[in-house]
Amino acid sequence: MRRPTTARTALRAAAATLALSLTLAACSGGGGSDDPTTPASEDTAAASTDAPEEAPTPTAEDIAALEAVTVDGAPGAQPTVTLGATPFSVTAAVARVLDEGTGEEIADGDLVDLHSLWIKGLDGSQLSSTWESSTPEQIVVSEASLAPVLTDILVGGKVGTRFVFAVPSGEDESSLAVAEVVSKRPGRADGTAVAPADGLPTVTLADNGAPSIETVAGDPPAALTVQPLIEGAGPAVTAGQTVLVHYTGWLWDGTQFDSSWERSTPYPVENIGQGQVIAGWNEGLVGQKVGSQVLLVVPPDKGYGAEGSGETIPPDSTLVFVVDILAAS
């Protein structure tokens, strides 16, 4: 049985948003657009390079408070949680393993499905439960997207791991979650390679799956081009789903303007087909299979048109995206 872990580095965002994954780094412009293909503002880019603040270390009282929490119930079902005392409060993020699990080992970069039950520390009341909605949460196991106390547990852990996690959620308030890893899948496209058509940029993948491109001479296609590069074995994406993707975007000349890979955090596109993304994404991703990697060549009328976007995407730009479809629900 593993003991409560302490944070090695800073918590990169507030975990009290009632999700085990920290705030996804949205690639939105200064105007507040939800479009994941909009480059980050200069202020946001500058802030991302700042050294993280040192994370607070749990005290002996924090660890004791978590140890006093009782979790009952069989693995695979929603647990019953009894707080040792109310109000339950901790001064720093702290976690401990309840069950090691017996499934596949989890590696850095894996995408895992997990159920979670969140409890309000003030009075022990339930805040949310994915068991009740029958929809596990999907997170990428990465130090860039998770609190270190969670990567301490998950990296090298196994499918079936059940753990309890507590975090301050406000002044003199804390929240607590019990979570269980249900399954895992690669945090990148995984399937059968597809030979692309001639005349398109050539895609090369780094060891972690991050793409780069080699441009081609000549004018870009006038119409939206949707070229699968890897065909996954999952179900086809349907309109209205939330699609979790990794992506990189370039101008036709090969100038990169954005990449979720550099943030180590996939992007969730809600209501695909009519989502708050450019038309090239809404039209190009519906019908593609989960697990696939797709090359999109987006003409101006399916992208940012005559206005462009900020200083990074000029007017009338043709855009190139490589999109890994990790999950859809």
Is pLDDT above 90 for 68?
yes
Is 163 assigned a catalytic role? no
Residue 67: pLDDT band by 50, 70, 90 thresholds?
very high
Specify the range with the lowest mean pLDDT, choosing from 108-112, 294-298, 323-327.
108-112
At residue 46, φ and ψ (nearest 5 deg) are: -65, -40
Strands 94-99 and 191-193: unpaired
Give the pLDDT confidence score for residue 4 in this predicted structure.
32
- Given a cut of 90, whether residue 27 has pLDDT beyond it is no
pLDDT of 243 > 60? The answer is: yes
Interval 86-95 mean pLDDT: 93
Check 110, 113, 152, 258 and give the catalytic one: 258
Q: How far apart are CA 295 and CA 246, in angstroms?
A: 12
In this predicted structure, the answer to whether residue 12 has a pLDDT above a threshold of 60 is: no
* pLDDT confidence of residue 142: 81
**pLDDT classification of 9: cutoffs 50, 70, 90:** very low
What was the pLDDT predicted at 53?
59
Query: If you average pLDDT over residues 31-59, what whole number do you get?
Result: 48
Other Cβ atoms closer than 10 A to 297: 24
pLDDT of residue 277: 96
- Cα-Cα-Cα-Cα dihedral of 134, 34, 171, 20, to 10°? 30
What value does the mean pLDDT take over residues 32-40? 42
Q: Is there a catalytic annotation at residue 153?
A: no
From 87, 34, 12, select the one nearest 274 (Cα to Cα). Answer: 34
Task: Say which residue, 321 or 133, is predicted with more confidence.
Answer: 321
Residue labelled with tokens 């074995």: 233
Q: Which of 3-7, 45-49, 158-162, 243-247 has the lowest mean pLDDT?
A: 3-7
| Domains of the chain as residue ranges with CATH | 15-185 (3.10.50.40), 191-328 (3.10.50.40)
**C-alpha–C-alpha distance, residues 281 and 245, integer Å:** 11
Residue 119 a catalytic site member: no
The whole-angstrom distance between residue 115's C-alpha and the CA centroid of its chain comes to 15
Residue 13, pLDDT score: 31
Considering the candidates 88, 163, 165, 247, report the single residue annotated as catalytic. 247
- What are all long-range contacts of 65-74, with beta carbons under 8 Å and residues at least 24 apart? 65/89, 65/90, 65/166, 66/4, 66/90, 66/94, 66/95, 66/96, 66/164, 66/166, 66/176, 67/4, 67/96, 69/164, 69/166, 69/176, 71/98, 71/162, 71/164, 71/178
Higher pLDDT: 1 or 223? It is: 223
- Is 50 considered catalytic here? no
Instruction: For residues 235-259, give the mean pLDDT.
Output: 96
The catalytic residue among 88, 321, 324, 325 is 321
Is residue 267 flagged as an active site residue? no
Per the prediction, the chain carries an average pLDDT of 84
- Report whether the peptide linkage leading into residue 87 is cis, meaning its omega lies within 30 degrees of zero: yes
Whole-angstrom distance, CA of residue 101 vs CA of residue 156: 11
Mean pLDDT of 159-184: 92
What pLDDT, on the 0 to 100 scale, is given for residue 135?
A: 85
Q: What pLDDT band is residue 169 in, cutting at 50, 70 and 90?
A: confident
Q: Which residues are within 8 A (CB) of 222 and not within 5 positions of it... i.e. 6 or more apart?
A: 299
Q: Residue 205 is which amino acid?
A: L
Q: Are 176 and 88 in contact (CB under 8 A)?
A: yes
Task: Return the pLDDT at 21.
Answer: 40
Per-residue confidence (pLDDT) for residue 7, from 0 to 100: 25
pTM: 0.69
As a whole-number percent, the residues of the chain with pLDDT over 90 amount to: 67
Mean pLDDT of 234-255: 96
pLDDT at 306 over 70: yes
Please pick, among 63, 119, 153, 278, the residue that the annotation labels catalytic. Answer: 278
Catalytic one of 88, 163, 267, 304: 304
Looking at residue 37, its pLDDT comes to: 52
CA-CA distance, 52 to 143, in Å (whole number)? 12
Residue 54 has what pLDDT? Answer: 64
User: Of residues 257, 272, 313, 324, which has the active-site annotation?
Assistant: 257
Long-range pairs for 65-71: beta carbons < 8 A, 24 or more residues apart:
65/89, 65/90, 65/166, 66/4, 66/90, 66/94, 66/95, 66/96, 66/164, 66/166, 66/176, 67/4, 67/96, 69/164, 69/166, 69/176, 71/98, 71/162, 71/164, 71/178
Closest listed residue to residue 165, CA positions, set 60, 266, 71, 56: 71
Across residues 212-224, what is the average pLDDT? 95
The torsion angles phi and psi of 15, rounded to 5 degrees, stand at -85, -5
What pLDDT score was predicted for residue 185?
83
Average pLDDT over residues 302-307: 96
For residue 5, is pLDDT > 50?
Answer: no
